[in-house]
Amino acid sequence: MKITKLMNPLKGEIELPSDKSISHRAVMFGSIAKGKTIIHRLLLSADVKTTLSAFQKMGVKMKFVGDDLEIEGSNFHLTQPRTSLDFGNSGTTARLLMGILASQNFETHLVGDESLLKRPMNRVAIPLSLMGADVRAQGSQATLPVTIKGGHLNPINYEIPVASAQVKTSLIFAALRAQGKSHFIEQLQTRDHTERMLPLFGGKIEVKDLEIKVSGPQNLFGTTLTVPGDFSSASFWIVATLIVPGSELLLKKVGVNPTRTGLLDIVKTMGAKIELLNFDHSHETADIHVTYTGDLRGIEISGELIPRCIDELPILSLLATQATGETVIKNAKELRFKESDRISSVTSLLKSMGADITPYEDGMIIVGKTDLSSSEVEANKDHRLMMTAVIAGLIAENGNNLPDNIEEIISTSYPTFFEDLRKICQ
């Protein structure tokens, strides 16, 4: 596929697809709760379909009624799947489900695609084993294929060594079925969708700053919930507006949970014109209005900001190529463990387009402003890298040549990405 340089600004509005992290959690909570859960506006991306299919293979009944998904919860009584569970590209499905399988009294074999097979699972395998699950995996990183056999779980006191909402959530799921009170400490605040959703299902959790306590065993009860628009998906359009001269976009009903919106703080500090309108407190959404000004400066992105923008760092790196001066991204080693090693893959993408970018062990330094040139973008199973390549193509002399299966890769999180792009191109 060829993306050509835009001659006109981006204009109009987009209603964002629903949040991927929240959609996974809604399906998981609905599947382990007792009774019916109704989910409005579930994201039907490839990753979320992976989660749906895993629970169906474990006996959970679900059906669409109009646009709503209705789940008949299993009350934590899943059944052993007849075949391996294939998690495709979805690290969230793999890590979160391991926390649920840790309490299920049967053995399950877990596999994934070539990208997922490289991603470390020891971050969940170690604490889940300490709680009593039997987890067998590959090598020191405990990569997939994994075999997990659950059963009786003990509570634990555990300082989570990486800033990861996936690990935190996996452990909360396990703690809900342990005999006693578990106590977790995060290093830095990560997205808190699980802590917020658990009480909607009747669950109890104590959260104070970076400490979390969960008593088990607990039962959960089905509920009705609506998934907000995905801030991470909105970020591609925010950056596109900030780099395509004359652009102005309204992004509607975007989830603005502060544990996710580090990019807003970052682009404001860089000098962007961006405002939140129509804040809806009950759903924690707002419309984001963003306008091109062309006058951005490089900044440092580090410390507690990193977990608040971890998925946005590829597209922020592109933005940094269009800001004057140096942008320093550090304390972001976690980027190496995503759908690709995003320090390497972002560096080679932007370098191939002429950017001044230097990779480090835990980040990158990008010096702007650089006129980007066209590139033959290499195929990569990383949806966020591929969306970054598309947006970069919009400002590159002669555009970008993209891999043929790019729509399929992007459908991991944003199945209507190209439709939305066409809508705002004039």
Binding-site size for ligand S3P (CB under 6 A) equals 10
- Please report, in angstroms and rounded to a whole number, the separation of the first and last CA atoms in the chain: 19
CB-nearer residue toward ligand S3P: 24 or 369: 24
* Catalytic annotation present for 311: yes
Q: What is the DSSP letter of 50?
A: H
CB 354 to ligand S3P: min, Å: 28
Tell me: does residue 45 bind ligand S3P (CB under 6 A): no
Binding mask 261-300 for ligand S3P (x = CB under 6 A): ----------------------------------------
CB-nearer residue toward ligand S3P: 255 or 368: 255
Binds ligand S3P by CB under 6 A, chosen from 310, 315, 318, 421? 310
> If you compute the radius of gyration of the chain from its CA atoms, what whole number of angstroms results?
21
Quote the CA–CA distance of 114 and 96 in Å, as a whole number: 19
Binds ligand S3P by CB under 6 A, chosen from 92, 104, 223, 241? 92
Helix 20-32 vs helix 46-57: angle between axes, to the nearest 10 degrees?
10
- How many residues in total does the chain contain? 426
Q: Which amino acid is at 17?
A: P
For residue 297, which phi and psi values (nearest 5 degrees)? Answer: -125, 150
Q: According to CB under 6 A, which residues from 327 to 356 bind ligand S3P?
A: 334
3 state SS of 98: helix
CB 334 to ligand S3P: min, Å: 6
Q: According to CB under 6 A, which residues from 157 to 196 bind ligand S3P?
A: 164-166, 169, 191
CB 322 to ligand S3P: min, Å: 24
> Which has the closest alpha carbon to 5: 348, 390, 418, 410?
390
CB 319 to ligand S3P: min, Å: 18
> Which has the closest alpha carbon to 159: 195, 211, 205?
211
Tell me: does residue 93 bind ligand S3P (CB under 6 A): no
> Which has the closest alpha carbon to 97: 122, 69, 124, 79?
124
**Binding site residues, ligand S3P, CB under 6 A:** 21, 92, 164-166, 169, 191, 310-311, 334
Tell me the catalytic residues.
Answer: 311
